[in-house]
Amino acid sequence: MSVFYRKMIPRLKPAINAAELLAALRPDGLDEIRLFEEDFAQLMGQKHAVAFPYGRTGLIYLLTALGLKGKEIICPAYTCVVVPHAIVYSGSTPVFIDCAPDGFNMDLDLAGKSITGNTGAIVATSIFGYPVDLDRIKAIQEKHPQIKIIQDCAHSFAAEWKGRPVQKQGEAAIFGLNISKLLTSIFGGMVTTDSDKLYHDLKQLRDRHLTVSDWKKTLRRLLYFLSLYPTFWEPLYGLVNRLERSGILNHFTQYYDDAKIDMPDDYRLQMSSLEAKIGRCNIHKYRKILAARRVAAKIYFTGLPNLPEFQLPPEIDGATYSHFVVQVPDRKQWMEYGLKKGIQLGQLIEYNIPEMESYGSHPRGSYPLSAKYSRSTINLPVYGGEEVAKSVVRIVKKHIQ
């Protein structure tokens, strides 16, 4: 049967069903966004949350609220490119750091050594849901108390390092809420903090500089949301995948241009009430979503061999597994094999940011691990818990053997 029609396991799938549909279609109540912020802050165990149209917008205004314009901001070389884009848009300069030798996260020892008199903050990303080393973060804070720590939790949400929530160690944490994240409001982002002053400053900046969402944005978001139900229906997903690979869906699936430092056209248009309603509904599923991902990860760790030609990620307590990332020598060959067998294997960060054309004018350094991971990683589906993971294990093991 042609892959065009074959039932296919998607690389990702948002946790939406009839509950989110009913939430989206019910009339708006008062203060939907404020209620979403309160629910999100409670989930993360923090005093405050401020909603934004995108996580990257939240980072722009967080850096502004912290008074870091013109400063150097340390961030990973191997992360979503929207992070340095937001740093540039805030008027600051990204300083890239390679990955640590023992995992995908930024090398915090190297980050500490890279602090200068003009360093304003470190954006500590818990990439793929693997918690950053909070002991090393604390050591940096003790040695350099003037440096602000921003936790990038777009992948990790409430990941824990030795039982300590990552999002709580620092000035603030940023979250993305698109359909690839652990929780979704379809689009959107959040900034959380325990600082009353930072909360009020950030909220004031948002309300002053961002335009209130209008009916046009709401309609666009509603249509996009409704399209997700047929899009992720497995019997139809082979067709969706074919359209995606042809480039027809690039407007929806491509989030960056290698040659440009840019933002979405609506990055300064506030989150809509529609998104807040969907997000509030999705929050109630967080524990179930997280449990399913951890079950899938455990099945991969126990059911798949860890080989030089199929290198499993580190198994870390407290990880939330936004992605289960495997290193292979020939990514294209593996992805083609997956398609033939009805599994879409993902590639997420297929670039080393300092090598991108858009950052060609930045000082060059050496980022060997970031470069390696950008060319060698594939993602196994983790959204479907035991059922999907066991199907993936069976198919992957046949190819390894």
**What pLDDT is stored for residue 365 in this prediction?**
85
Examine the pLDDT at 280 and tell me if it is beyond 50: yes
* Domains in the chain, CATH or no CATH each: 18-209 (3.40.640.10), 286-400 (3.90.1150.10)
Give the C-alpha distances (Å, rounded to integers) separating 313 from 74, 131, 144, 282. Answer: 25, 13, 31, 28
Closest listed residue to residue 90, CA positions, set 261, 252, 247: 261
| Contact by Cβ (8 Å): 126, 156 | yes
* Percent of the chain at pLDDT exceeding 90: 86
**What pLDDT is stored for residue 56 in this prediction?**
98
**What pLDDT is stored for residue 249 in this prediction?**
67
SS3 354: helix
Instruction: Give the model confidence (pLDDT) of 316-359 as tens digits.
Output: 999 999 999 999 999 999 999 999 999 999 889 999 999 999 99
Interatomic CA distance for residues 241 and 338, integer angstroms: 12
Instruction: Give the model confidence (pLDDT) of 351-365 as tens digits.
Output: 999 999 999 888 778
Query: In what helix (H) or strand (E) does residue 22 lie, and over which residues does it extend?
Result: helix 18-25
* Secondary structure in 3-state letters for 200-261: HHHHHHHHHHCECCCHHHHHHHHHHHHHHHHHCCHHHHHHHHHHHHHCCCHHHHCCCCCCCC
Examine the pLDDT at 251 and tell me if it is beyond 80: no
Neighbours of 123 (CB within 10 A): 27
The token duo for 126 is 């818990």
**What pLDDT is stored for residue 210 in this prediction?**
98
**What pLDDT is stored for residue 244 in this prediction?**
75
Instruction: Give the model confidence (pLDDT) of 201-227 as tens digits.
Output: 999 999 999 999 999 999 999 999 999
Parallel, antiparallel, or unpaired: how do β-strands 72-76 and 164-165 relate?
Answer: unpaired
Query: In what helix (H) or strand (E) does residue 374 lie, and over which residues does it extend?
Result: helix 368-376
Interatomic CA distance for residues 199 and 312, integer angstroms: 40
| Contact by Cβ (8 Å): 80, 347 | no
Instruction: Give the model confidence (pLDDT) of 144-180 as tens digits.
Output: 999 999 999 999 999 999 999 999 999 999 999 999 9
**What pLDDT is stored for residue 391 in this prediction?**
95
- Look up the pTM and report it: 0.95
Interatomic CA distance for residues 37 and 289, integer angstroms: 20
